[in-house]
Copies of this chain bind each other. A is one copy, B any other.
Amino acid sequence: MEGKSKLILVTNDDGIYSKGIQTLADIASEFGKVIVAAPLESQSGMSHAITIKYPLRIKKVAVKNKIDYYGCSGTPVDALKLAMNKIVNKRPDLILSGINHGSNASTSIVYSGTMAAAIEGCINQVPSIGFSILDWNENTEFSHLLPYIKEIIKKVIDQGIPPGTCLNVNMPMLNGETINGIKICRQNKGYWQEEFDHRKDPQDNEYYWLTGEYVNLEPDATDTDEWALKNNYISVVPVTIDFTCYNAINLIKHWEKY
């Protein structure tokens, strides 16, 4: 993959009208022809969900900076599948997802619609990158991040990434500090400790809001995405679509029985 005039499909999970997807689409347009296809509404936390019970719709909702924007009624993965099948006429050369508001580092990758789209691209043998920023503010200023995002896209276009691998890129929240650089990392071990917010509705029925706090199981590790982000680096984790735990195969091989 090299040169300009690549076909680049851009998606996200925050929805087609978010600032992050437009920023990403505009950057991508420096590298080729861009088509944007994303959920019509926010689909945060939808992970790799696909819509089976309901029909899907897709339509062009805008043209911005000469880029066509298609809105889809479903999840990020629905939007990507539908766009690849019905909007673009060939397999894209690159799939970009984001820029997501909120961290998709560590265990958060499993809940992430942004990263699910990147994983889906990778399953379809298209080099794919998910971008997230540790900042929930919808009006976040991205300008200081643009050179890094461009550089990562350029590296993937020029050098490729191994088949079966996509990239999980997270960018730190800065408080007046500067970015220290780009770190290639592994996924930090941790989990979300739920603290459901318990309420009663006007009919006196109980309900819950899902909330929680991230528990870092290896706060002292220095080769993880969590460490990189805490230290003002952009974290890049190469993510596999093969979830096999190969070490464990050997450990339980003797369970086989014929």
Contact = CB atoms under 8 A, between A and B. Distances in A.
Interface string A109-138: 111000010011001110000000000000
A29 interface: no
Contacts of A248: 161-162, 165, 238, 240
Contacts of A86: 196, 198, 208
Contacts of A165: 245, 248
Given A123-B107, A238-B244, A243-B243, A45 B50 contact: yes
Interface stretch (A18-26, A92-100, A184-192): A184-192
A253 interface: yes
A209 to B, nearest CB: 6
A51 B211 CA distance: 10
Interface in A56-109: 56-58, 75, 77-78, 81-82, 84-86, 107, 109
Contacts of A151: 257
B243 A239 contact: yes
A202 interface: no
A177 interface: no
A52 B210 contact: yes
Closest 8 CB pairs between A and B? A238-B248, A47-B48, A240-B245, A181-B258, A55-B207, A238-B245, A186-B244, A49-B49
